Amino acid sequence: MTRKIAFGLALGSLLTVLAACGRDPGTRAVTGGLLGAGTGAGVAAVTGGKPGTGALIGGGVGAVGGAVTAY
């Protein structure tokens, strides 16, 4: 249950931050990937997972999310 709550909070904050990260899709993809990697690593560390895996997953989700959002 704790993991679900932590994941939900991390995802919500990531999506909120992605809304203001650059004017073109490339910039949003890079900043989204960086923010996602940091968030994923942090959530994984807090919930007992592997921070490296969390960073890879969060970075991928953040990059895609940043690329597909509209300014």
pTM, to two decimals: 0.69
For residue 19, what pLDDT is reported? 54
d(CA 2, CA 61): 21
For residue 15, what pLDDT is reported? 60
d(CA 29, CA 54): 18
* 71 vs 69, higher pLDDT: 69
- Domain hosting 44: range is 2-68
**Rounded average pLDDT over 28-46:** 87
| Residues 28 and 58 sit within 8 Å (Cβ to Cβ) | no
d(CA 42, CA 2): 14
Counted domains in the chain = 1
**Rounded average pLDDT over 31-45:** 87
